[in-house]
Amino acid sequence: MAHTVWVVDDEPLIRTAVLAVLGEVGHEARGFGSAEELYTALVEEGTSPDLLVLDQRLPDEFGSTILHSLRERPQYRDIPVLFVTAIDDEEADRLSALAPVVRKPFDFNDLIAAVDAQLAAIQH
């Protein structure tokens, strides 16, 4: 079954590559370059993804801040999140308390495995 996966990453090359790989394995993937673009889509379209892939270091907001914002709103509270980001061990440990972390540079197989694991967790 195809899932919708939204990818928020300000690096166009990485975002494009991740979207391509997600599409190849059958997901409906959509990319955003900033937190603002993500919020606009959530609010204006009234839809939310099956999984949100967040970069921690975005130009306008940290990925962890986005996650906290979503968790405070009932309609977005249950959106699973996966961090895909270039960070050090210490920050990765802190982030992994919030959601799983795939660190850049990553192997696409590892990314897909992490995405599948998060999506499998929501299939009741």
Q: pTM for the complete prediction?
A: 0.93
| Domain boundaries of the chain, sorted by first residue | 4-122
Residue 124 pLDDT greater than 80, yes or no: no
> Order of strands across the sheet with 101-103?
28-32, 4-8, 51-54, 81-85, 101-103
Q: Please give the radius of gyration of the chain, using alpha carbons only, rounded to the nearest integer.
A: 13
Could you tell me the pLDDT band of residue 60, with boundaries at 50, 70 and 90? very high
Instruction: Summarize the confidence of residues 22-29 as an average pLDDT.
Output: 97
* 76 to 79, 86, 93: CA distances (angstroms): 6, 25, 24
pLDDT given at position 87: 84
CATH tag for 4-122 (out of 3.40.50.1470, 3.90.25.10, 3.40.50.2300, 3.40.50.1370):
3.40.50.2300
pLDDT given at position 123: 63
